[in-house]
Amino acid sequence: MPNLLLTIRYDGTHYHGWQVQKNALSVQEVLQNALEDLFGKRPDVKGCSRTDSGVHANMYCVSFRAPFYPGEYHLLSALNHRLPPDIKAYACQETDEAFHARYACKGKEYIYYIYNGKYENPFLSRYAFHYRYPIDADELNEAAKHFIGTHDFAAFCSAHSDVEDTVRTVYDCRVSREGDMIQMTIRGDGFLYNMVRIIAGTLLQVASGKIKSDEIPLIIQSGNRKKAGKTLAAKGLFLNKVFYGEEIEG
């Protein structure tokens, strides 16, 4: 049975994250339903990451063993016909027998979007956090640099997480503006539960003057979740890229 690497993108608005849950609809369940209908057998799908309820993905990778591989074009055409409009596959390839989408992953890139218009935009309401007060993107870009490096990010992890090792390496963290849209892009070897959303919330605290930029290293060192910013809404978060072996630094 060939081991396939499938790449999908999805709008997470109506799903309770990636992973199958007992009482809620997940992206994994919908994908497995479509693959079962296609192959006549329900595959054991291995995802590259867990994403929370409401989080989106521009690139999400899964691996699974299929009864046969008809080739990329035929598989994607048949699979997308069975998937809903908010989940679509766009790449597939046969990979080596030992490949695992999660364990082979070397790093990820996330983007968090903040809509900085004075009034809410209904066309962005599902894909960006609305913040109507002034934001100096250049100031936040400088503040974001404090997150780069290998640190213990316990202060930027949800209090409900049971992860023991909270050390992660952030290769890049930057903030930019295009019109009224603020974009925070962060790339690292891995991320803690709600880490990106808490970092984005901390940067908004810098924008509002509640936290000074040079206090960020002290917050990191403290390991105290209460000193960091709020966890921003999931809807602004996108898993943008997954790295397998290629250079992820810089």
Residues marked as catalytic: 52
Give CA–CA dist 56/47, Å, rounded.
14
Evaluate whether 173 touches 197 at the Cβ level (below 8 Å). no
Question: Residue 216 corresponds to which tokens in the numbers above?
Answer: 């960020």
Residues whose CB is less than 8 angstroms from the CB of residue 54 and which lie 6 or more positions away in sequence, other chains included: 12, 13, 15, 233, 234, 235
SS (H, E, C) the chain: CCEEEEEEEECCCCCCCCCCCCCCCCHHHHHHHHHHHHHCCCCCCEECCCCCCCCEEEEEEEEEECCCCCCHHHHHHHHHHHCCCCEEEEEEEEECCCCCCCCCCCEEEEEEEEECCCCCCCCCCCCCEECCCCCCHHHHHHHHHHHCEEEECHHHCCCCCCCCCCEEEEEEEEEEEECCEEEEEEEECCCCCCHHHHHHHHHHHHHHCCCCHHHHHHHHHHCCHHHCCCCCCHHHEEEEEEECCCCCCC
